[in-house]
Amino acid sequence: MRMAYFVDEFPPFFRGGLGTYAMEITKEYVRRGYNITVFSRNTGNDPTNDIWEGVKVHRPLLLNVADVLPIVSPGDVMNWDTGGQEFFMETIFYNFLSASKLVNGLAGKEGKTFDIVVAHDWLSFIAGIISKRSMKLPLVVHFHSAEQGRTGNGSATVKNIERLAAVKADMIVTVSYAMRDELMKYGYPESKIRVVYNGIDVNKYRPGIFSDEEIRKFKEEIGVGDSPMIFFVGRLTWVKGADTLVMAMANIVKEVPDAKLVIVGKGEQESMLRQMVASHGLENNVILKYEYIPEHERIKYYAACDIAVFPSKYEPFGIVCLEAMAMGKPVIVGASGTSGFREQVIPFGENISGFHINPQDPDDIAKFTVILLKDPDLRKTMGINARKRAVEKFSWEIAADNTVRVYEEAILLHEENRKALYEAVCECKIPDVNPTEKSS
């Protein structure tokens, strides 16, 4: 299979879970012998043409559009902050330049052929739509989230891009049944939607990677010492719930005074979180690290923690939960609204791997965190079950197998529709040909 693959994040550029997804799933495609050509955003320091782990990567250089932003940006985008406006226009340029590279360059001038176009989230949907129309290829769009859910309402322009992509696509892939239900609520056709869970590299994320001494030294370095450690990693935005977790911490320390919460990430809540820690008198219990950390360091944080807590208010899937589970850690996750966490974490029974909580309620978060902090045997049982579930249900091999089935379905559907259209126009019948038969 030859894929033209549009994705905003790709190594070495990561902003969140999408980059991790693209990195891992394309490695699986290469192992299967598929030909993948990725079109991704250029940060300004990246090569425009590259080969990464057997994947051909094109990253068009973008332009500084600051002077023309006010006259070319959609009205609702102009209500974004300056960084948001520039990001939107850079995204549009990335889409147009990438689609042109595929349609006019690779396919037009170089004569390269492709079987399918794949586009991830609104950040790449425009390129996918243009390429489908120009090259008459099937299009599969991946919804890792949706604008209305992740922002509370959000940009009408972005929502229109998402709706158009859903109309033009042959198939829609999304990351959980919760996300499928959300898309259906917005009127997207159920017949097009397929659910494929994300995966985890269970060999990279596994217990026992570090010695006890290495973990002890690491906990000293980050200021935890020998205290019980609660870990959160993610974007510091309202949907991720770090603010609610800090509020919960005020109650947690009443029961477990030496507990330490480590928050790692970046986002618009940085100043607010710092103020919250001070106002609750939690300077000795909350460690704020405002940075993006590389994967190997993130794995060390998981290894060091006793519990991972992700109180997201909106989380269509949430790879961080799988990462913690694969590391053998019990997890406490937000399970209201659109929550892929609900489908990952078993909250009761003999296979219990974590707790579901109301992400809006600091008392609920505190209650279940304290239960785990005070019960090491339960933590151990949950951790074993979490690792087992990650290995058995959420490997990247399984994710790749299920995604390829959708791509094959889209290719077949596209061919059937094209054949039906041709027969309707010319009023003739195209004979069926067995592809295994040799032409004489």
Measured distance CA(7)–CA(120) in Å, rounded: 5
Task: Residue 323: give the domain boundaries.
Answer: 212-393
pLDDT tier, 425 (very low <50, low <70, confident <90, very high otherwise): low
Selection from 175, 181, 99, 168 nearest residue 140 by Cα: 168
Domain match, 31 and 62 both:
yes
Domain match, 226 and 178 both:
no
What average pLDDT does this structure show over 21-33?
96
**Which three-class secondary structure state does DSSP give residue 356?**
strand
Domain match, 241 and 376 both:
yes
Question: What's the token pair of residue 66?
Answer: 């600051």
Residue 145 maps to a domain: yes
pLDDT tier, 423 (very low <50, low <70, confident <90, very high otherwise): low
Domain match, 362 and 279 both:
yes
Domain match, 304 and 371 both:
yes
Domain match, 79 and 224 both:
no
What average pLDDT does this structure show over 158-179?
96
* pLDDT at residue 439 in the model: 38
pTM of the model: 0.87
Residues paired with residue 76 on neighbouring β-strands, in sequence order: none
* pLDDT at residue 436 in the model: 45
Residue 161 maps to a domain: yes
For the four alpha carbons of 164, 170, 175 and 177, in that order, the dihedral sign comes to positive
Residue 207 maps to a domain: no
* pLDDT at residue 128 in the model: 98
Residue 44 maps to a domain: yes
Which residues in 243-291 belong to E strands, given as ranges? 260-264, 286-289
Domain match, 348 and 417 both:
no
Measured distance CA(305)–CA(299) in Å, rounded: 10
The answer to whether 217 and 300 are in contact (CB under 8 A) is no
Measured distance CA(283)–CA(38) in Å, rounded: 45
Measured distance CA(300)–CA(202) in Å, rounded: 15
Domain match, 135 and 169 both:
yes
Is a pLDDT exceeding 60 seen at residue 43? yes
Measured distance CA(187)–CA(184) in Å, rounded: 5
**Which three-class secondary structure state does DSSP give residue 261?**
strand
Number of compact structural domains in the chain: 2
Domain match, 194 and 219 both:
no
Domain match, 263 and 220 both:
yes
For the four alpha carbons of 394, 54, 40 and 12, in that order, the dihedral sign comes to positive
Phi and psi at residue 315, to the nearest 5°: -155, 90
- Does residue 435 have a cis bond before it (omega within 30 degrees)? no
